[in-house]
Amino acid sequence: MTKILISRPLPDAVIEAARGRFDVTLRDDTQPMTDAEMRDALVAYDGILPTLGDRFSADIFAQVPNPRAKILANFGVGYNHIDVAAAKSVGLTVTNTPGAVTDATADIALTLMLMSARRAAEGERLVRSGNWQGWHPVQMLGLHMSGKILGVIGMGRIGKAIARRAHHGFGMDIIFYNRSQVADAEVAAGQLDTIAEVMKAADVVVIAVPGSPATHHLIDAEALAEMQDHAHLINISRGDVVDEDALISALKSGRIGGAGLDVYENEPEIPAALRALDNVTLLPHLGTAALEVRTDMGMMALDNLVAFFAGEAPLNLV
């Protein structure tokens, strides 16, 4: 029977379905795999279902040039933790789980947009502190989000789902930057030529590009400097797409209105300087954290494994 390693505990339904198809080893640890575990897994299993944080780097593959494993069926759409070119060079196929994550990730973007614009986390901290003195007309005034301009950086599946929600739910006008021309943005939306133009014009900017070496620090000090001083930056993609130090400076100096983050440069380490700021909302990478979504992601990863071992092309090749 085909031997599969699942690198983290997953929803029961996924494990059960996996056990019906494969000889499954479940790694009962919520922490990322160590280098040694990754090397051993490549030698001992036919397929691996890894996820965020399992850093299958070029180094790992260089140390296992003839792996028994033939597929890494990633749990999650983002696969920046896998060096795909190096994986392919030693004969591995890599798949991911797009589609399954889209709506939930867009929902978290909207959560952060509202939390940041309306100072929800700061307000919650105030209530919990016991120091709230009661309502008054000019207390904790935030940015009224309805009808404002949303700038989306990266108009892929998730960017479009965010734009739909913002436009139809909050009457926001949508502008966006995308590396290639987007023929169908699904809502009325203006594609601008540069990131700088979007940063300058938007009241809220959402980052929705995939993490990769090409998007590392795509949003740097220069890009942040284009933003209006009342504007908010939201990141639901990968932490290193935004230069975290530059963002901290922009927030500290009040250069921008606020930020909402679900992802960080060195998860789970969050700089103390960021945690100390009131004008930033910090979520612990909750993008897809709902049981049915995580189940769908697991089932999609399994479908990719099943297709691969049946000799078919998996639907979600990367």
- Which element (helix H / strand E) includes 84? helix 84-89
Spell out the residues 6+ positions from residue 139 whose beta carbon is closer than 8 angstroms to its own: none
Distance between CA atoms of residues 81 and 279, nearest Å: 30
- At its nearest, how many Å lie between ligand 8YV and the CB of residue 300? 10
The residue whose Cβ lies closest to ligand 8YV is: 76
Q: Which of 47, 50, 76, 154 binds ligand 8YV (CB under 6 A)?
A: 76
Stretch of 4-12, 73-81, 244-252, 303-311 lying at the interface with ligand 8YV (CB under 6 A): 73-81
- Token digits of residue 227: 């933003």
Size of the site for ligand 8YV (CB under 6 A): 10
* In the complex, least distance from residue 301 CB atom to ligand 8YV, rounded to whole angstroms: 10
21 in active site: no
**Interaxial angle between packed helices 102-117 and 120-129, expressed in degrees from 0 to 180 and rounded to the nearest 10:** 60
Min. distance of Cβ 185 from ligand 8YV in angstroms? 22
CB 32 within 8 A of CB 76: no
User: CA neighbours within 13 Å on the CB side: how many for 114?
Assistant: 11
State which residue, 51 or 235, has the beta carbon closest to ligand 8YV: 51
Assess 102 for contact with ligand 8YV (CB under 6 A).
no
Q: Of these residues, 27, 238, 244, 294, which one is catalytic?
A: 238
Q: How far is the CB of 285 from ligand 8YV (least distance, A)?
A: 6
Q: Using CB under 6 A as the criterion, what x/- string covers residues 250-289 for binding ligand 8YV?
A: -------------------------------------xx-
Burial label for 209, CB within 10 Å (0-12, 13-18, 19+), is buried
**Is 101 a binder of ligand 8YV (CB under 6 A)?**
yes
For ligand 8YV, which residue of 77, 153, 205, 234 counts as binding (CB under 6 A)?
Answer: 77
d(CA 308, CA 94): 10
Tokens of 307: 């297709």
267 is catalytic: yes
The dihedral built from the CA positions of residue 192, 197, 201 and 205, taken in this order, carries a sign that is: positive
- Per rule CB under 6 A, is residue 159 in the interface with ligand 8YV? no
What is the nearest approach in angstroms of ligand 8YV to the Cβ of residue 287?
A: 3
93 touching ligand 8YV, by CB under 6 A: no
- 3-class SS string, 183-215: CCCCCCEEECCCHHHHHHHCCEEEECCCCCHHH
Of the ranges 16-24, 76-84, 149-157, 304-312, which one interacts with ligand 8YV (CB under 6 A)?
A: 76-84
Is 16 known to be catalytic?
no
* CA distance between the termini of the chain: 26
Residue with tokens 């100072």: 119
Residue 55 CB, nearest approach to ligand 8YV (Å): 13
Interface contacts to ligand 8YV, rule CB under 6 A = 51-52, 75-78, 101, 105, 287-288
Active site residues: 238, 267, 285
